[in-house]
Amino acid sequence: MSRAYPFFMFTNCQAEEAMTLYASVWGDDMVIEDLLRWDGSIPGGPAGKVQSALITIKGTAFRFMDSEGHPHSLTPSTSVFVECDNEAELRHAHEMLVKGGFELMELGTYPFADLYAWVQDRYGLTWQLSLSGT
């Protein structure tokens, strides 16, 4: 069956570190479905790093990959929007993701959400966190 996934290339080869962080944030709501490592036989494929990973966070699938030698990195214009089940989950995610990163929009109340934050984590991936139904 054909499927479409959001795809994130970590040009600094930190995909596995990022997945470890996300597992600590989302717990059982984050699963590594498949993980393939570069074996060193392909140019640009850093041996031992993530060639392809399929992860799910709260039921949504993502593809991750490590690469080297590209002039670009992740951009904040693409983000993962997560509807959190409760305020405690949102505050935990915010606290974990902003460490080493920064806020694009501070945790707070906005006209479109009772509680919301937009953060860029230390790996460059941006997350929009909002309470479910707001």
Residue with token string 């984590």:
121
pLDDT in tens, 31-54: 999 999 999 887 767 899 999 999
Q: What tokens does 62 get?
A: 């993502």
Residue 18: exposure state from Cβ atoms within 10 A (0-12, 13-18, ≥19) = buried
pLDDT along the chain (134 residues), means of 10: 87 93 96 93 82 95 88 80 95 98 95 94 95 66
Residue with token string 């983000």:
79
Task: Show the DSSP H helices in the chain as ranges.
Answer: 15-26, 87-98
Whole-number pLDDT of residue 67: 85
Q: Which domains does the chain have, with CATH numbers?
A: 7-66 (3.30.720.100), 79-131 (3.30.720.110)
pTM comes to 0.87
Whole-number pLDDT of residue 132: 67
**Exposure of 74 in the CB half-sphere (CA atoms within 13 A):** 26
